[in-house]
């Protein structure tokens, strides 16, 4: 509990990694979920090589951590220092797997990323919307998180309505 009250910037290592990076590297999806719940801003922090926790989950071939990050509205179109998005890395892993060298669930990871709207190329952001950086604005990220929250709340509410009506259709 006291750990959760500490500023998220406290958790940043000299190489740019955060506790979220460490949780993904240790393949602990539950830890990723808890960190994302309290420090959602850590889902998109890049390390010194430009890799976000999503990049690391793809490289590790860890579908559970990847799903936890995607459900926490992690940004899917961020490029690392080499210009690779998580989807581009996943496609490389899938190619390696087909040739006998990559992770076994690379195709599943590509599908998961696409289901959450991932793109291979970082989308163009008009200059008037950017503040000297490429990618979505803070407001875009906030809206993405809000939309994910609202969608999950509606799914929960629909399930509750179905239970109240004995499994029938939700009331109009």
What value does the mean pLDDT of the chain take? 79
Report field, pTM of the whole predicted structure over 0.75: no
Burial bucket for residue 44 (CB in 10 Å: 0-12, 13-18, 19+): buried
Q: Can you tell me whether residue 84 is helix, strand or coil? A: coil
Check whether 24 has a pLDDT greater than 90.
Answer: yes
- Give residue 39's pLDDT: 84
Task: Give the three-class secondary structure for 12.
Answer: coil
Reduced DSSP (H G I as helix, E B as strand, rest coil) percent helix, strand, coil of the chain, to 5: 60, 0, 40
**How many whole angstroms separate alpha carbon 123 and alpha carbon 61?**
24
CB 120 within 8 A of CB 92: no
Residue 54 near residue 69, CB atoms below 8 Å: yes
With bands split at pLDDT 50, 70 and 90, how would you rate the model's confidence at 130?
A: very low
CA distance to 73, 85, 159, 162, 167, per residue, from 77 (Å): 12, 6, 32, 36, 39
Structure-model confidence comparison of residues 164 and 154, the more confident one:
154
Q: Per-residue pLDDT tens for 45-104?
A: 999 999 999 999 999 999 999 999 999 999 998 889 988 999 999 999 898 888 886 657
Q: What pLDDT is attached to residue 6?
A: 52
Q: What is the pLDDT of residue 103?
A: 59
Predicted confidence at residue 105, as pLDDT, reads: 85
Terminal CA-CA length for the chain: 42
The alpha helices in the chain, defined as continuous H runs, are 19-25, 29-38, 53-60, 63-71, 86-98, 106-115, 138-164
Position with higher pLDDT, 13 vs 49: 49
Would you state the structure tokens that stand for residue 158, as one six-digit string? 């629909």
């Amino acid at each position: 509990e006291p750990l959760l009250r500490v500023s998220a910037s406290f958790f940043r290592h000299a190489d740019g990694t955060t506790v979220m990076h460490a949780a993904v590297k240790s393949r602990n999806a539950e830890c990723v979920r808890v960190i994302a719940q309290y420090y959602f801003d850590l889902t998109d922090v890049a390390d010194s090589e430009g890799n976000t926790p999503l990049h690391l989950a793809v490289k590790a071939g860890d579908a559970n951590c990847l799903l936890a990050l995607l459900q926490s509205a992690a940004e899917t179109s961020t490029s690392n220092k080499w210009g690779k998005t998580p989807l581009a890395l996943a496609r490389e892993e899938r190619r390696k797997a087909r040739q006998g060298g990559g992770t076994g669930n690379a195709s599943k990871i590509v599908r998961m990323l696409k289901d959450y709207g991932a793109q291979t190329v970082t989308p163009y952001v008009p200059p008037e919307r950017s503040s000297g950086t490429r990618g979505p604005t803070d407001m875009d990220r906030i809206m993405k998180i809000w939309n994910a929250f609202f969608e999950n709340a509606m799914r929960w509410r629909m399930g509750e309505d179905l239970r109240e009506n004995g499994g029938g259709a939700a009331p109009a």
